Structure 1
Amino acid sequence: MSHESDISPLTRIVARLDRMAAASDDSLDIAVTVGEIDPGIVATGFPSLDRAIGDGFRRGDLVVLGGDDSVGCSALAMAIALRSDHRALLLTSEMTPERAYERALAMSARVSLEALRLGVVSSDERTRLATAALTLRDRAPVVETLLEGGVPAVARALEASPEAPLVVVDSLEGLLDHPAAPDDALAHAVLSLKRLALRQQVVVLLATHLPALDRQRHDRRPRLTDFGLGGAVGTHADLVFGLYREELYEADLGVAGATELLVLKHRDGPRGYVDLYFDSRYGRFEDVLEA
């Protein structure tokens, strides 16, 4: 009996092209998702972003998302995990699973996180929370807190959730186990996560800070060099995003919520940027096409 691994890569590519052609044929009434056409694609759930990167992430990819402090990298990484067609795995070194689910619920229901924690919600908000909770029950990511263990802990968590096509690691700095030579250790962690993505055929989405960002320069949009670590991110990652919100620096310019997601590296396509909107009331990112 033939197995998928017995089929040559060229044969699989041609078969995928045939499926894509069939799905785009206007004479056929076929409703399929990107993942059904190409199971190697993991859509982000943000239409503009998926369009910019070729329908989504590809299994085996290491995707790195970085930005200045408080710009919202964790919120965007969680939003992608929530929008995934399949249950993702979210590994955080910054909060407990309960707090992560609180944030997910607030984002999904469009309710203030503070109001949710205090229990001060209107009847309409309570209804939205109940509806969101039902949806999240089946689609919310599996959340684990990483307290120690570095990349091997990520691998163990993935072994416990083998069906997850997307693994969100928040953040790179949380994987640091040894205080000596931190830059070298984190650079090696980036390489190890890329190897893990290839070995397990998953997408690893890694959130990180920008240790080399010069906050005195005029244009503080992230650059590839801002990730530091001797260029490890630019070398090993397949996709590198820089998150930028002008309101962090110029609050009086009438740009509240305006967000640029810069594609700083794209191994399979062009660079550029995607416009998003950040609603600070709910810590929620939205695609401008959805607004």
Structure 2
Amino acid sequence: MTTDPAPVLSVADSMSPQPAPEPEEFASHSRNVGRLRSLSDVLLETDEKLRLGETAGARVWPTGFEALDLALTGGFRSGELVLIGGPQGLGKTAMALQMLRNAVAANRSAVLFTYEHDAHSILERLIAIEAGAIKGIEGVGLTKIRAGFEARHSRARSMRERFADTVGGAEAVEALEGYADRLHVHTSSGMHTTIDAIRAAVAEVAASDGRPPLVLVDYLQKVPVPGVTNEEDRISVVVERLKDMSLELGVPVVAIVAADKSSLVAGRRMRVNDLRGSSALAYEADVVLILNDKYDIVAKHHLVYHLGNAERFRHWVVMSIEKNRNGADHLELEFQKRFEQGRFEPEGRVVEEQLIEERVYQQ
């Protein structure tokens, strides 16, 4: 196993350096993986959980995106591998980070493995997301938050003071302080943060928090596999082991997936087979969500005969549920962009317009 030098830190930087003993429920789930058991054992175990008032089925982590949670019959489930793909710059990381924020705000636990951003950048994004959740579109934007941190001649000695004159900034910092110990950020390395390192960190967070976390990997193609140089083989190993980890530890694993360069063409709709890597991506995943810019994939008669639609459609992203083992799939949802705050409006709705090579969906 490769030693990972990067620590797991909560947003509040308050995680205990000494792992606590594994919580009984978490340890019990880990022991059940790989065992040969009779159905009678499973029945007895399930009855015992019900007798104790515990959840007998899968745990569910709501995403906080209402239309998506409805389609997923509640949200992401323990043991699931979820892939989020789409063109560069369309907000995959923003949406996934907002899902993590929503989970911890609802008193869950979460851990982010970020291969492209440092912990402070994640903090800036979370303040913007939180300000938007509190104050709506009037909330302070990401640009102003970054400028506030970079200002050198301020008398403010705390983040609340630094953002006291912004709309929602101080309130956002206060909200983050309320759940910061449940959201952990692992600044990951494409050289050292292997699947073994990810698994060890997830187990550490589960032991520290006393419950399994929602896991986000940003992004899948960055995860190294020692001794495997062929990209397709490496991605196959990574996706298979992420799925194994989700089952073994009883956690939902959300992985952001890069697109194949050949699919990055304006006006072309991205699908699951455009994700960079191997066929194992679609095979192993339980849920596959593909983002596309609505303007690029709406049937052109909506633009030709309704010129005012062009600008309006640019403010929406279409999320295609291309695979869903536990609910509706082949469904198109749309969410409004709020990129100045690094977020999306959480309500969403079913797409009504006809899309490229698709039938019309009605609410």
TM-score, L = length of structure 1: 0.81
1:278 Cα deviation from its structure 2 partner? 1.0
Aligned 8 A contact 2:66 2:347 in 1: no
Q: Deviations over 1:116-147 (max 9, x none)?
A: 12128885525x12211121123242111111
Match runs of 1:8-27 below 5 Å: 8=43, 11=46
Alpha-carbon distance in 2 for matches of 1:213, 1:269: 31
Match for residue 63 of structure 2?
A: 44
2:205 to 161, 165, 185: 161
What is the aligned counterpart of 1:241 among 289, 292, 295?
289
Partner of 1:28: none
Is 1:259–2:332 an aligned residue pair? no
In the other structure, the counterpart of 1:97 is 119
RMSD: 3.2
CA distance in 2, matches of 1:161, 1:89: 8
Q: CA deviation at 1:185?
A: 0.4
How has the CA–CA distance of structure 1 residues 36 and 137 changed in structure 2, closer, same or farther, with 3 Å as cutoff? Answer: farther
SS at match of 2:326: coil
Counterpart amino acid of 1:197? S
68-77 or 272-281: bigger deviation? 272-281
Q: Pick the aligned partner of 1:189 from 238, 250, 259.
A: 238
Distance 1:102 1:215 in 2: 29
Q: Does residue 1:205 correspond to 2:254, yes or no?
A: yes
Q: Is the 8 A contact 1:46 1:287 kept in 2?
A: yes
Structure 2 unmatched ranges of 5 or more: 1-24, 30-40, 133-139, 152-161, 304-308, 350-363
Which residue does 1:136 correspond to in 2? Answer: 176
Counterpart of 2:270, as a letter, is: P
Q: 1:187 to 1:109 in 2, by over 3 A?
A: same
Taking the TM superposition and a 5 Å limit, the aligned residue runs for 1:72-83 are 72-83=91-102
Over residues 138-161 of structure 1, what are the superposed CA-to-partner deviations in whole Å (9 max), with x where a residue is unaligned?
324211111123211211211220
Q: Residue in 2 aligned with 1:31?
A: none
| SS of match in other structure, 1:199 | helix
Matched, 1:112 2:171: no
- Using the alignment, how far apart are the partners of 1:50 and 1:172 within structure 2? 23
SS of 1:253 mapped into structure 2: helix
Change (3 A) 1:176 1:11: closer
2:346 alignment partner in structure 1? 287
Deviations 1:228-250 (A, max 9, x none): 42211110000000011235799
Q: Which AA in structure 1 matches 2:118?
A: T
User: For the residues of structure 1 that align with 2:166 and 2:172, how far apart are their CA atoms?
Assistant: 10
Matches within 5 A, 1:216-231: 216=265, 218=267, 220-231=268-279
Structure 1: give runs of 5+ residues left out of the alignment: 20-34
Identity value in percent: 26
- Stretches of 4+ moved more than 4 A in 1? 3-7, 9-12, 35-39, 120-124, 247-252
Amino acid at match of 2:127: L
Matches of 1:288 and 1:208, distance apart in 2:
24
What secondary structure, in the 3-state scheme, does the structure 1 residue paired with 2:166 have? helix
Q: What's the offset of the Cα at 1:80?
A: 0.2
Q: Which residue of 2 aligns with 1:146?
A: 188
Distance 1:108 1:61, change over 3 A: same
Partner of 2:219: 171
1:269 deviates by 2.4
SS in 2 for 1:229: coil
Residue identity matched to 1:137: E
Equivalent AA in structure 2 for residue 8 of structure 1: L
Would you say the 8 A contact 1:59–1:165 is kept in 2? no
1:112–1:281 Cα contact (<8 Å) kept:
yes
Displacement of 1:99: 1.1
**1: CA distance, partners of 2:256 / 2:44:** 31
Q: Select 1:55's aligned residue among 52, 74, 91.
A: 74
- Return the index of the structure with the highest Cα Rg: 2
Look up the SS of the partner of 1:281 in the other structure.
Answer: helix
How many angstroms apart in 1 are the aligned matches of 2:342 and 2:118? 18
With normalisation by structure 2, the TM-score equals 0.66
Q: How far did 1:9 drift?
A: 8.1
